[in-house]
Structure 1
């Protein structure tokens, strides 16, 4: 009985909407609905292949997502190891709380904060650059800087959550291993590479495997709240492209075809990652 509400939510919001996939093969007309709109076969997919900007959109998505995946592993692992070295528990817990807080904030709120902080005229960051004699940079309006701002701000928001996950993994390492290594003359750095990291490897593989499926999810909410037409060249990703095509331009069939293709590719990536996790590290998620 406890499972029924969760199952109903999944059925209503995850499985029932999958009927809309048929729009990818239709010239969808809203007043005719799913069953009245004419079928056009793979025409939407051919239009997708011929669309002039689709290659750039896919590249932007993969480029930003891959940077987020690797930075999202490296930063929390590093912070977790450093926190684990602290001997004063109140300092460790205070820092954990502070870095975890942004995880609970929405990108609507954080987007407004970033716009103010990175403003080329009144932003704190650019004022600091001006004090150092560096010209102001329009971070959210420059195609060169925008992807890196997305990655850095995403890490700032989410690395606290990852840090807690890796700290939990560190508690499972036997302390006697460190004692034995210290008696053999191993430095803290050698202990980190030969005890800490191998002990964390199962959870690192798990997190990496789960993130591989998101290689085409570069963060719609974040980019939607921060991008603008001047940075479409480097900021436009699959999800924002689908939003503009489907919601703003009412090309429902074409937008559904793009979303379906993305889902198929993501499914292939996550399936491959599960197989690799088992074969390379002998680790099963299910």
Structure 2
């Protein structure tokens, strides 16, 4: 009996070992392909996080990160005692919230409209034109916006001056500047973002539309009762990911479009960090503000995901 038990025990362990080795060999090509992505994130995403300690130090080049004196929460005391800080945070929240909540439905609408197009040539040309702005740098897009809305030579003001007799300073009025900012962001990103929803639409069983058509449902009813419910998991997922960017309005777009006249609504955390950190050398203050921005974004993601989990739509 002891010999049998020993042989059985010895026979069971190698079985699991061989299974693990076999699984490793089968997945080895996928792991090798995934390795560059892991290295990229480790080197450029996680290793730089060690610099977060600068937010709690009076950093200077001479002493370096390790030997610069600790100041604890002194940098945050400076930030929140500065009257400009609340304005910068407010601007960031306003612009990013408008970008997320106003721009969020457009990719969904574009995907549904493209899905309803039956002429393949028209669909291909439309998709190409919608995707093209995504590949343009914000410097180019900013130049196009200035060319269109410029006070003296803008195309829009050419017609406005002919109709009203006076050009309108679109880029120098806070309300119109915000509208142009949000609109240019939607124009640049909506087409590319629609790809995710178009991919989700391909998973819908065509027989559902056929059955709905036989029951007399029109296009709007089919979209409402078939398309939108099928897109709901993807919509919730993308919304949670976008909420994480509420405090990250971006740098390129704001910096290219802002000017001194509208700086009261155009100065955000990213541009302030650039000017204070790289421009003035106050790296500790810039890092403290960046860490604050990241913590708020993480908190918002956790809150929205918690709410989504109550409806079985959470990200994790």
Name the TM-score, length of structure 2 as normaliser: 0.86
Cα drift, residue 233 of structure 1 = 0.4
Instruction: Indicate how the Cα distance of structure 1 residues 92 and 134 shifts in structure 2: closer, same or farther if over 3 A, else same.
Output: farther
CA distance in 2, matches of 1:10, 1:3: 11
Q: Which has the higher contact order (CA 8 A, sep 6+)?
A: 1
Q: Determine the structure 2 residue equivalent to 1:247.
A: 278
Q: Determine the structure 2 residue equivalent to 1:120.
A: 151
Cα drift, residue 49 of structure 1 = 1.2
Cα drift, residue 284 of structure 1 = 4.4
**Are 2:210 and 1:179 equivalent residues in the alignment?**
yes
- Which of 75, 78, 81 aligns to 2:106? It is 75
CA distance in 1, matches of 2:170, 2:248: 22
CA distance in 2, matches of 1:191, 1:29: 62
Cα drift, residue 261 of structure 1 = 0.7
Structure 1: which 5+ runs fail to align?
none
Q: Determine the structure 1 residue equivalent to 2:295.
A: 264
Cα drift, residue 257 of structure 1 = 0.7
Structure 2: which 5+ runs fail to align?
1-31
Report if aligned partners of 1:96, 1:164 keep a CA contact under 8 Å in 2: no
Instruction: Indicate how the Cα distance of structure 1 residues 134 and 180 shifts in structure 2: closer, same or farther if over 3 A, else same.
Output: farther
Report if aligned partners of 1:120, 1:137 keep a CA contact under 8 Å in 2: yes
CA distance in 1, matches of 2:182, 2:169: 16
Segment of structure 1 superposing worse, 129-138 or 154-163: 129-138
**Are 2:241 and 1:213 equivalent residues in the alignment?**
no
Higher helix content, 1 or 2: 2
Cα drift, residue 91 of structure 1 = 0.5
Q: Determine the structure 2 residue equivalent to 1:201.
A: 232
Cα drift, residue 191 of structure 1 = 1.4
**Are 2:309 and 1:283 equivalent residues in the alignment?**
no
Secondary structure in 2 matching 1:132:
helix
Q: Determine the structure 2 residue equivalent to 1:85.
A: 116
Q: Determine the structure 2 residue equivalent to 1:237.
A: 268
Count of matched residue pairs: 285
Q: Report 1:53-68 matches (<5 A).
A: 53-68=84-99
CA distance in 1, matches of 2:84, 2:175: 18
Larger radius of gyration: 2
**Are 2:166 and 1:130 equivalent residues in the alignment?**
no
Q: Determine the structure 1 residue equivalent to 2:9.
A: none
Q: Determine the structure 2 residue equivalent to 1:11.
A: 42
